[in-house]
Amino acid sequence: MEASSASKPHNKRLESILIEVKLRAEGASSDDELITAIKRLEQFPEPVAYDNQRLNMFASIFAALFILIGAALYFIQVPEEYLFVPLGGLVLVLVIYGSFWHQRRASFDKLSDRIHFRSTLFDYNLQEIRVHAPDKAKELAGRFTSFRKGNHQRLIEQWLEGKHEGEENSFNYNYYHFHYVDRRRVTTTDSKGNVRTKTVYDHHHRYGFIVPFRYARNIDIAEKYLKLFQTGYKTSSISFNKKFSVNFDSEMEVVKFLKPAVLQAIEAAGDALSEIVLEFNDSGDLCFSFGNSDTIRINREFSLKQPKEFAAEIEGKASQPRLTAALAFIEKLMKYSDDNFS
């Protein structure tokens, strides 16, 4: 098999190995299996990259041909519109060349990003769950008002399942990416008085966690400028009252929950994240959402182009500061809400 593979042209061999690496990475259940997939590229001669010599040669030949044709037409003084033919040919050559070059480069980056993401899932005890995006959004909208946004479309783009093992509290959780779309009609009038109406689609993205939380029910906390709700309720913290609005069913319950330590923790989370919302529903679940998209981010240093270095990077624990901080915040809320906490 290796002998027949070695007889293939350079780029065909590389494509075959990348397909194999992708299949192994998607089927991996640990960092060790990801590393095994990456090491498959160590058998490939360096540099681990596509050979673009033939692509460069063909692009140069056709580009030079169209330039010469254009120059010849210019010197024999043909009508200017004829010059658009070689110019269009030159542009087409550059577009095709750029497309091939970008596709080859992106194949490494995309697969490297995917492997890094899979490694993060393993390091943080997370599992990627496939869901039907509209149906999952509809299900969640029945549990939380946070998923009732969007008058045109609602989708759960990502759904992860994990367990946080904290120093004082451990809990199961889901991490999500919620994408919703608002549709609106916009009417404009030009300088001649012509009225034109068009449909505009505004796309919005929210991210967050859903966690079982038995310490609070029917309480909503949101940054005031989100205008989800406005109430006259005031806590003991002036700074908190300036930034957040609180909605609730029972004032006794909200007073019990919003202890000074809880207020401070929520304020700190609001400083670190944008547009935060804490929604505790009547079933004892918390939906903690925000606008930041980098809770889990691709922050790798190496790629499949450097298989030895990339394998060593994957072997170490992925660093996801925002994910760690968000989980620590939820754990703090649990700790401070516990009746045993003073």
Q: Which of 123, 148, 169 is the last residue of a domain?
A: 123
Q: Are residues 179 and 320 in the same domain?
A: yes
Q: State yes or no: pLDDT of 227 exceeds 70.
A: no
Q: Are residues 113 and 224 in the same domain?
A: no
Residue 341 or residue 189, greater confidence: 189
Q: Are residues 96 and 156 in the same domain?
A: no
Nearest to 213 by CA among 177, 252, 169: 169
Domain assignment of residue 184, yes or no: yes
Residue 6 or residue 32, greater confidence: 32
For residues 42-53, average pLDDT: 70
Sequence-distant (≥ 6) Cβ neighbours of residue 66 within 8 angstroms: 86, 87, 89, 90, 93
Predicted pLDDT of residue 4:
46
In whole angstroms, give the CA distance from residue 13 to residue 107.
14
Predicted pLDDT of residue 92:
75
Q: Are residues 184 and 304 in the same domain?
A: yes
Q: Are residues 235 and 300 in the same domain?
A: yes
Predicted pLDDT of residue 117:
95
Q: Are residues 74 and 149 in the same domain?
A: no
Predicted pLDDT of residue 55:
59
- Residue 54: is it exposed, middle or buried by C-beta count within 10 angstroms (0-12/13-18/19+)? exposed
Q: Could you count the other beta carbons within 10 Å of the beta carbon of residue 323?
A: 22
The mean pLDDT of the chain is 86
Predicted pLDDT of residue 75:
73
Domain assignment of residue 8, yes or no: yes
Q: Which of 107, 123, 139 is the last residue of a domain?
A: 123
Domain assignment of residue 260, yes or no: yes
Domain assignment of residue 80, yes or no: yes
Q: CA dist 110 to 3, 47, 52, 273, Å? A: 29, 18, 19, 27
For residues 64-83, average pLDDT: 71
Q: Are residues 164 and 264 in the same domain?
A: yes
Predicted pLDDT of residue 2:
46
Q: CA dist 47 to 16, 42, 51, 91, 304, Å? A: 16, 10, 9, 30, 11
The encoded tokens of residue 260 equal 């000074």
Which of 172-181, 214-223, 294-303 has the highest mean predicted lDDT (pLDDT)? 172-181
Predicted pLDDT of residue 1:
41
Domain assignment of residue 236, yes or no: yes
User: Domain tally for the chain?
Assistant: 2
Tokens 């989800």 identify what position? 228
Q: State yes or no: pLDDT of 7 exceeds 60.
A: no
Model confidence pLDDT, tens digit, residues 127-157: 999 999 999 999 999 999 999 999 999 999 9
In whole angstroms, give the CA distance from residue 252 to residue 176.
31
Omega prior to 47 cis, within 30 of 0: yes
Q: Are residues 113 and 203 in the same domain?
A: no
Q: Are residues 49 and 182 in the same domain?
A: no
- Domain range enclosing 198: 127-337
| Of the candidate ranges 41-45, 124-128, 137-141, the one whose mean pLDDT is the lowest | 41-45
Q: How many CA atoms lie within 13 A of 191 on its CB side?
A: 0
Residue 157 or residue 46, greater confidence: 157
CB 291 within 8 A of CB 125: no
First CA to last CA distance, the chain? 68
Nearest to 247 by CA among 272, 214, 276, 224: 224
Model confidence pLDDT, tens digit, residues 315-336: 988 889 999 999 999 999 999 9
In whole angstroms, give the CA distance from residue 337 to residue 105.
50
Domain assignment of residue 342, yes or no: no
Q: Are residues 213 and 64 in the same domain?
A: no
Predicted pLDDT of residue 83:
66
Q: State yes or no: pLDDT of 85 exceeds 80.
A: no
Residue type, 289: S
Predicted pLDDT of residue 192:
79
For residues 254-261, average pLDDT: 92
Model confidence pLDDT, tens digit, residues 149-180: 999 999 999 999 999 998 888 999 999 999 99
The encoded tokens of residue 312 equal 């060593």
Nearest to 203 by CA among 186, 231, 181, 224: 181
Q: Are residues 119 and 164 in the same domain?
A: no
Q: Does the pTM exceed 0.85?
A: no
| Of the candidate ranges 150-154, 206-210, 306-310, the one whose mean pLDDT is the lowest | 306-310
CB 55 within 8 A of CB 97: yes
Q: Are residues 171 and 310 in the same domain?
A: yes
For residues 91-118, average pLDDT: 78
Q: Which of 123, 147, 162 is the last residue of a domain?
A: 123
- Residue 154: is it exposed, middle or buried by C-beta count within 10 angstroms (0-12/13-18/19+)? buried
Domain assignment of residue 195, yes or no: yes
What SS3 state is found at 171? strand
